[in-house]
């Protein structure tokens, strides 16, 4: 699809209601994301909701995961197999839920962080899980037989609250972003089997000037986007997709002047579109521009801005991994919305 040709719109397909507090995070099930799609959402109401698309195409809440977390559930993530869901909470724990025929059971709870767990992410192989917290640490857990998990490394290096962790789409390389304004890249050292920080990106190295809230990799793993309280999105790239896990990320471009409030979420679609959600209640979508006068720099332009996408802050935007034009968003207003990106007919 040529995004430079014609006008596009973000059409609201359905508003999902049920949470009684702000919705913090969303995760599409990677296996059932198609016609029988499944979406997880987590909230300040201490619950996780599972939404399923029915035969008619409408989305319904098929399960409510509750009575496990005692405080806000801040982050949720599906395992690559789509059978396990990890949920991270301000109660200091991460719960692992198993989906057995549509019934979800909490099979284990991971403890160790001193306070609020802010993010959880699975590695591409599904064998590793990463968590991060307000205690300034990142923990790496290895999955054992019988849904057991062992903490194999506690990563210390951030000086403030760690907001998000995300694994590279096919390498065991982990990136964390923090309230300390930095981005850190972590890999395992084969010599001592421990994890180490191999790169720190700060404002001095073209990084952000304020809290970094989120990051997203593109589908091929050679680009990364970050978003911040400094009102910018930044794009990063490597020459060969960090083939050895230690190649440095280089600054490619800064998208500024589009947001006038904190940017909370950024997510890359499989077709290379960037969506962002911010405290101005809007969703923006960017596309890569092929302008010949910017050959030496990656150029992204705004495809559209959806004003008042929600009544309050947009905390999370997530493209569907199988349907490239389907986007989900979550908000402080307690709702989730499903959107369809389409070209406006002339």
Q: Tell me: the pLDDT tens digits for 260-309?
A: 999 999 999 999 999 999 999 999 999 998 765 544 567 899 999 999 99
Residue 52 domain-assigned? Answer: yes
254-264: average pLDDT: 97
Give residue 119's pLDDT. Answer: 98
Taking 80 as the threshold, does the pLDDT of residue 85 lie above it?
A: yes
- Residue range 42-69, pLDDT digits in tens: 999 999 999 999 888 899 999 999 999 9
Whether 234 contacts 254, CB under 8 Å: yes
- CATH code for the domain in which residue 130 is found: 2.130.10.10
Residue 172 domain-assigned? Answer: yes
Give residue 101's pLDDT. Answer: 83
Give the number of C-alpha atoms closer than 13 A to the C-alpha of residue 339, restricted to the C-beta side: 25
Residue 7 domain-assigned? Answer: no
A 10 A CB-CB count for 17 gives 11
Residue 81 domain-assigned? Answer: yes
Instruction: List Cα–Cα distances, 131 to 75, 164, 210, 338, in angstroms.
Output: 10, 8, 22, 27
Grouping H, G, I as helix, E, B as strand and the rest as coil, residue 203 is helix
Work out how many domains the chain is built from and give that number: 1
- Say how far apart CA 214 and CA 74 lie, in whole Å: 13
Residue labelled with tokens 């981005």: 183
% of residues, the chain, pLDDT over 90: 85
Q: What is the pTM of this model?
A: 0.95
Residue 333 domain-assigned? Answer: yes
Whether 278 contacts 241, CB under 8 Å: no
Residue 3 domain-assigned? Answer: no
77-87: average pLDDT: 97
Taking 70 as the threshold, does the pLDDT of residue 245 lie above it?
A: no
Residue 1 domain-assigned? Answer: no
- Residue range 187-224, pLDDT digits in tens: 998 767 799 999 999 999 999 999 999 999 999 999 99
| Domain around 225 | 12-343
The torsion defined by the Cα of 243, 294, 175 and 136, in degrees rounded to 10, comes to: 150
Taking 60 as the threshold, does the pLDDT of residue 325 lie above it?
A: yes
Taking all residues of the chain, what is their mean pLDDT, rounded to a whole number? 93
Residue 6 domain-assigned? Answer: no
Q: Exposed, middle or buried: residue 25 (CB in 10 Å: 0-12, 13-18, 19+)?
A: buried
């Amino acid at each position: 699809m040529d995004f430079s040709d014609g006008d596009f719109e973000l059409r609201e397909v359905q508003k999902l209601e049920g949470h009684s507090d702000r919705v913090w995070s969303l995760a599409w099930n990677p296996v059932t994301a198609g016609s029988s799609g499944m979406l997880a959402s987590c909230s300040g109401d201490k619950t996780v909701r599972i939404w399923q698309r029915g035969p008619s195409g409408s989305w319904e809440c098929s399960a409510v995961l509750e009575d496990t977390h005692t405080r806000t559930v801040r982050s949720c993530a599906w395992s690559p197999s789509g059978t396990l869901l990890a949920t991270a909470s301000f109660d200091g724990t991460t719960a692992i839920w198993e989906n057995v025929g549509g019934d979800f059971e909490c099979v284990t709870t991971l403890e160790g962080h001193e306070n609020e767990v802010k993010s959880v992410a699975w590695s591409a192989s599904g064998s590793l899980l990463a968590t991060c917290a307000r205690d300034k640490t990142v923990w790496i857990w290895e999955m054992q037989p019988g849904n057991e998990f062992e903490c194999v490394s506690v990563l210390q290096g951030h000086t403030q609250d760690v907001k998000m962790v995300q694994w590279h789409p096919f390498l065991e390389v982990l990136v964390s972003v923090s309230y300390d304004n930095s981005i850190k890249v972590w890999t395992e050292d084969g010599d001592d089997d421990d994890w180490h920080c191999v790169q720190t990106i700060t404002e001095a190295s073209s990084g952000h000037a304020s809290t970094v809230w989120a990051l997203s990799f593109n589908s091929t793993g050679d680009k990364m986007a970050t978003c911040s309280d400094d009102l910018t999105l930044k794009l990063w790239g490597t020459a060969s997709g960090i083939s050895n896990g230690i190649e440095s990320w280089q600054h490619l471009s800064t998208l500024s002047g589009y947001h006038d409030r904190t940017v909370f979420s950024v997510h890359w679609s499989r077709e290379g579109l960037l969506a962002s959600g911010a405290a101005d209640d809007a969703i923006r979508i960017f596309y890569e521009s092929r302008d010949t006068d910017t050959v030496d720099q990656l150029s992204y332009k705004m495809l559209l801005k959806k004003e008042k996408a929600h009544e309050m802050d947009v905390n999370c935007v997530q493209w569907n991994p199988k349907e490239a034009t389907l986007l989900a968003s979550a908000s402080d207003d307690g709702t989730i919305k499903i959107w369809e990106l389409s070209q406006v007919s002339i």
